[in-house]
Amino acid sequence: MLGSILLATASPVAKGAITVTKDSGDFGYLYEMSTNPSGQDLDGNSTGDWFNATANGLTIPQTYSGGVAVSNQSAGTPETLFRTDYGGSITRNTLANANSPWTVEVSVRKTGGTQGADGWFGVAMQNPGASQSVRVNFEDDRVSYRTSPTNTDYLLGINFADGEFHTMRIAYEGSDSYFVWIDDTLLNTDLSTGFAGGNGSFNTGGSWFMGDFSGGIAGDWEVDYIRYDAGTAAAPVPEPGIILLGAIGVLALLRRRR
C-alpha cells in the first residue's frame, strides 16, 4: 500500500458519497489488451469500441504482445493513445449525459523515455454534454490532477517510473464530482468529497483520451488493461489482507471477552 502525501487538495465539492465497491475484474467492459480494443465491440452496437485509425498524426497503439498494448513513439505514425471521440464509441454509447456515472481502471507501466511537463501517461474524460472534464497524469515521481491553470500533485516522492505496473482508477458520480485511486490508495480526503473536474471542456460530444494525447506528455509505456463500468461509481474492493487483519482483531477481542 502506498503512503499518501497530500500537498494540497483539489477543489472539494459536496455531493453524494461513494458507497459501492467493485473489483475491476467484475466491470462491464474489460479490455485486456490481448487484441486491439478498437476491434472489439463489447457493447454490441456494431461499432468498434475505440477509435481504430489515425488522427492528427497519432494513433491507437497497434502492438499487442503478451496481453499488453505497447506504445511506439518512434513508429512512422506514433502509436500513443486510446480515444473514443466518435459517434457510437464505448463511452458515447453507454453514457447518456453529463451526469451519467462511470468507473474506469487502467493498469500501466513506464518502459522508457523522458517524461513531459505533465508526466508520461494521462487519462482525460468528458461526459457527453458535460461542460467540464477530468484529467489525471502519471509522472515519474507523483500523480497530478488537473486543476487549471496548474496541476495539483499527489503521492509526491513515490517512484512511478520503476517499471512496475500501477493502477489508476477514476470514479465519476455525476455533477462534476470525481474520485481517484492510485494502486488502491484514495487521493480524495474521503469517499464523500469529490474532486471537481478542473480540465475545462475539450470534447462536448464526450470522449476519453488515454496515453499521450498532449504536448505535456512523453515517454514509452505498456498498458495491461483498461476496465470500464458504465452506470456505477465504485471504489476498489478492500484488500484481503486488510479484511483478514480486521477479522483477526475481532477474534482477539472475542477471546479477550471470554
- For 113, which DSSP code? S
Q: Are 138 and 219 in contact (CB under 8 A)?
A: no
| Cα–Cα distance for residue pair 40/93, rounded to 1 Å | 14
CB of 30 to Ca ion, least distance (A): 9
Cell numbers placing 178: 470525481
Closest separation in Å from C-beta 118 to Ca ion: 25
Contact 214, 52 (CB under 8 A): no
Dihedrals phi, psi of 93, to nearest 5 degrees: -80, -25
Q: Where are the beta strands (DSSP E) in 132-219?
A: 134-139, 142-147, 150-154, 166-172, 178-182, 185-186, 193-195, 207-211
Show the cell assigned to 57. Answer: 498524426
Of the two residues 45 and 99, which places its CB atom closer to Ca ion in the complex? 45
Residue closer to Ca ion by CB (options 31, 195) is: 31
112 HSE (CA, 13 A, CB side): 5
To the nearest whole angstrom, how small is the minimum distance from the Cβ of residue 208 to Ca ion?
14
Nearer to Ca ion, 49 or 183 (CB): 49
Which position's Cβ is nearest Ca ion? 67
Closest distance between Ca ion and the C-beta of residue 175, in Å?
27
**Closer residue to Ca ion in complex, CB, 194/236:** 236
Q: How far is the CB of 230 from Ca ion (least distance, A)?
A: 12
Q: Would you say 37 or 194 has its CB closer to Ca ion?
A: 37
Rounded CA separation 192/176 (Å)? 13
Decide whether 173 or 220 has the Cβ nearer to Ca ion: 220
Q: How far apart are CA 236 and CA 202, in angstroms?
A: 28
Scanning the chain, the segments in alpha helix (DSSP H) are 90-94, 240-257
Distance in Å, CB of 47 to Ca ion, minimum: 5
Task: By CB under 5 A, name the binding residues for Ca ion.
Answer: 32-33, 41, 43, 45, 47, 49, 67, 224-225
